[in-house]
Amino acid sequence: MTTAKRIDGKAKADQLAASITEQTAALLREHGLRPGLAVVIIGDDPASQVYVRNKKRRAEACGFFSVQHTLAEDTSQTDVLKLIDSLNNDEAIHGILVQLPLPEHLDEQTITQAVAPTKDVDGFHFVNIGKLTAGHTADAFVPCTPAGCMLMIEDELGPDLSGKNAVIIGRSNIVGKPMASLLLQRNATITITHSRTADLSAVVSNADIVVAAVGRANMVKADWIKPGAVVIDVGINRVETRIDGETRSRLTGDVDYDDVCSVAGAVTPVPGGVGPMTITMLMFNTLRSARLSAGLEG
Ligand code: GUN
């Protein structure tokens, strides 16, 4: 039985972060400019708190100026918009990220669209979505998760995906749709599947590249996979297991990793695959934003 290559997202993310740290030091040395990242978290969703803590830690390790604004669950929309406005006008800040999901009383679209497109390191502003969709990525911010996935796909298959079939499972604005734009730009043939897709496993079995981003633990099985396919698992699902009579919680992806490894060519694990790359791409976008603000790129 063959075993797929384990794509080490953590090692790749560390390598990329080391290069970002070097470039950050050079930017400070040569231009007196330190990239600044502001992360806004509203409410006390435990998973979001972990993600935000990791982002802040990584930003500081890269040598960035990093601030976190922690707002109470019941903060009004007006107050959130005021904070975003002040960050939009703060010269020390080059990247603004409002952690999702938001508490129910807040309007996600109004808030994400309030971030200045030039500081939208999440790539959620319509200006950045439009630029990405039009293939105008020279000065666009690409959403971090699909950008990280793309680098891992490129490592396996090279920059040109002509003739390759890519199947994306999930049509979210954060992953599925921007992933399709990025893969299309590299000449892949794209299918986006979702909860209304008929015979999902048959569609996936045609894919040379599978990107799973649905949020259903271990959904993708070996018999869905074309031999040799590159499988990118974006899912982060917390599942409870019983070990020695105790209930333990562990993270698992949308892909049944051990099963799929018997057929695929390369697979990302969870944890240690897409997650670390997502955080590092946020640093990449923030450094890029600082450089763009100084006219050093674009
Ligand atoms: N919540 C889950 N993923 C993301 C992300 O990429 N950006 C933000 N802002 N919130 C998230």
pTM: 0.97
Distance 245 CA to ligand 1 centre (A): 35
Last residue of a domain, one of 116, 131, 154: 116
With respect to residue 62, please indicate whether it lies within any of the assigned structural domains.
yes
Do 80 and 162 fall into the same domain? no
Do 264 and 162 fall into the same domain? yes
Is the distance from the beta carbon of residue 144 to the nearest atom of ligand 1 less than 6 Å?
yes
Q: Which domain holds residue 45?
A: 29-116
Do 91 and 208 fall into the same domain? no
Do 165 and 98 fall into the same domain? no
49 is known as an active-site residue: no
99 is known as an active-site residue: yes
Do 107 and 151 fall into the same domain? no
Rounded to a whole number of angstroms, the distance between the first and last alpha carbons of the chain is 48
Nearest CA to ligand 1 atom 2: 100
Do 148 and 269 fall into the same domain? yes
Do 98 and 155 fall into the same domain? no
Only one residue has tokens 């200045």, namely 116
55 is known as an active-site residue: yes
- CB-based burial, 82-112: b 16+ in 10 Å, e otherwise: ebbeebbeeeebbbbbbbbebeeebeeeebb
With respect to residue 290, please indicate whether it lies within any of the assigned structural domains.
no
Catalytic residue among 120, 122, 254, 256: 122
pLDDT of residue 1: 64
Cα(22)–Cα(35) distance, integer angstroms = 13
With respect to residue 166, please indicate whether it lies within any of the assigned structural domains.
yes
Is 226 in contact with 186 (CB distance < 8 Å)? Answer: no
With respect to residue 218, please indicate whether it lies within any of the assigned structural domains.
yes
Do 178 and 263 fall into the same domain? yes
When divided into structural domains, the chain yields a total of: 2
Residue 36 is part of a domain; what is its CATH number? 3.40.50.10860
| Binned average pLDDT, 10 residues per bin, the chain of 298 residues | 92 98 98 98 94 96 98 98 98 98 97 98 98 94 98 98 98 98 98 98 98 98 98 96 88 97 98 97 98 92
With respect to residue 1, please indicate whether it lies within any of the assigned structural domains.
no
Catalytic residue among 99, 233, 254, 256: 99
Do 91 and 152 fall into the same domain? no
pLDDT of residue 2: 74
pLDDT of residue 97: 98
With respect to residue 19, please indicate whether it lies within any of the assigned structural domains.
no
With respect to residue 282, please indicate whether it lies within any of the assigned structural domains.
no
pLDDT of residue 241: 86
